Structure 1
Amino acid sequence: MPYKKKLYYVLFCIVLVSIVLLTGCTSNSPQPATQSASAATTATPSLVQISSPPTTLQTAITTQVPTTSLTSVQITTTTEANNPVSISVNSVQLKSQIGTFAPKTGNIFLLVDLTIKNTDPSNSFEYSTSSFTLNDKSAQKTYSPITSQLAGSLNNPLSSGQVPFKSQTTGQIVFGILNTGAPRYKLTITDSTGNQIFSQIINAT
């Protein structure tokens, strides 16, 4: 009997050692990688604020602003021989405002006051906006009048009409020109058929 007890004891020890070894192998086996519980951070694109370009509006001015009145004047008679219509330029003024209107940025008004005299014994002299042109050689620009747009702010706008025979009229024409500081401009006037009746350099210095 003592021998059997020893045998059982040995067998028990062997079994116990085997269980311990198996348990150790199981615990040392690599564990599967676990996914991090923290939420993935998603990159958020930065917001770009696009500002609209400034808009320049051409609006009427209701407050009084100082005007620039630069010189005038070249008084003349007709430049075309045997023409019954003669032109006299009474004054030339550069203005930053006419009435309640101002030119767009970078421009200035050129106001010409002139007298048209028709000595024809029987025919009226007709004129229109296209009868008047202004040339700025320094800027290589040719301008048409904007007289009709400012008519309400002028004493006697010469936009279109006629001068009866043996009579005369005095009025104003306006050009919106680049403010280059040029002192001299060429004013040309034609009749209703396109024939040139007047062409002269006018001073505005």
Structure 2
Amino acid sequence: MKLLHLDSSILGADSVSRNLSAEIVSHFKSKHPEITVIARDLASDPALHLSGTHLAIMHGVEINDDIINADIAKGNAYLEELFDADVLVIGTPMYNLSIPTSLKAWIDRIAIAGKTFQYTATGPEGLLKNKKAIIASARGGVYSAGSPAAAIEHQECYLVGLLGFLGVTDVTIVRAEGLAFGPDVKAAALKQASVQIASLEA
């Protein structure tokens, strides 16, 4: 079994999403001691955001730009790691109602027509089959279904939609929210998340 572990929080050791994703990975390791884990810290080593130069090179134009060429090689590595993975663990905080830009940059490198999805006569089809994804989600407010702010939640719903578009439909969300509502609320949210992680099917 191979697991791809992505983190995107800029808060380092103080990050709740990082701590949750690490706990999820530890849970999988305990269940599968032979598991291979590939870790990507997208915050400390982000891909560049897509540019016209990227697209030109991807379409065969020869451009002598060492920085862009190295960045394209990084994107190719992202793809290979994703193809190889059986399990995807994504640690993501909510930034301004959505995901960190470093995670979006990763997505822009792996969501490629003809590789991870394709267009058919009946619509788009995801090409990433038989993979499991666990999203370790952290946010200061409360945006889950039924809350007053649910309509402006573009973090978890975006990731679930994107993964489904790519063919990954087995998605579990481990959520800690309301983290900015005081220490008691935060402690309760973290405890609930840990209980959920301990019960994950690995």
Q: TM-score, normalised by structure 2?
A: 0.22
- Higher relative CO (CA 8 A, sep ≥ 6), structure 1 or 2? 2
Q: TM-score, normalised by structure 1?
A: 0.22
| More helix as a share of residues | 2
- Who wins on radius of gyration, i.e. which is larger? 1
Higher-strand-fraction structure: 1
